[in-house]
Copies of this chain bind each other. A is one copy, B any other.
Amino acid sequence: MNSQTDFTQRTVEYEILLARFKELLKKNTYKYTIQREVILETLYKSDEHLTPEALHQLIKEKFPELKTGIATIYRTLSLLEDSDMVTSLSFGSQGKKYELGAKEHHDHMICTKCGTITEFVDEAIEERQHRIAEEFGFEMQDHSMQIYGICKNCKKLRFIYD
């Protein structure tokens, strides 16, 4: 690999994440590659939920010398998702959007006008979800909740454009 590759703005939090990733790879006899790290890093730096396509674009811009193929993006995202390091949100025919799942669990509020995703956590809901799964004899692996609507900002704009 090119040791000149620019990994700026590394935080302690990221270093811990990376260590966890390397450990995960080792445990499964997967190999550490620069492509995998760059994907993790790009997800980490992005505050947004990224589609595989968007992630690919970002990486091509930032690390053009790697010539990372879209297949590697998909493969790595699957790997990360299987290992619970990232989670995805489905948008039907619009595909999936991914985010690093190392953070605290949260739900999503999605604006149907501008597509912006706002995150939130609500303990009461989390708690009810567990209770409901239990009631049904269901072994919960994951859950997701989305609230669809029009965000504060678009509500303002509506008066101008509609």
Contacts and interface: CB of A to CB of B under 8 A. Distances in A.
Nearest to A153: B137
Contacts of A155: 137, 139
A117 to B, nearest CB: 12
B125 A150 contact: no
Tell me how many chains of this kind the complex includes: 2
Contact of A120 (B90, B95, B136, B147): B136
Contacts of A47: none
Of the candidates A141, A142, A147, the one having the most CB atoms from chain B within 10 angstroms of its own CB is A147
Interface stretch (A24-32, A61-69, A126-134): A126-134
B152 A147 contact: no
A143 B147 contact: yes
A145 B142 contact: no
Contacts of A149: 133, 138-142
A146 B139 CA distance: 13
Given A128-B124, A145-B145, A152 B133 contact: no
Given A92-B96, A144-B146, A136 B122 contact: no
A133 to B, nearest CB: 6
Contacts of A150: 138-139, 141
B133 A147 contact: yes
Interface of A: 88, 90-93, 95-96, 109, 111-112, 118, 120, 122, 124-125, 128-129, 132-133, 136-152, 155
Instruction: Please give me the 3 A-B residue pairs with the lowest Cβ-Cβ distance, nearest first.
Output: A90-B90, A137-B152, A140-B149
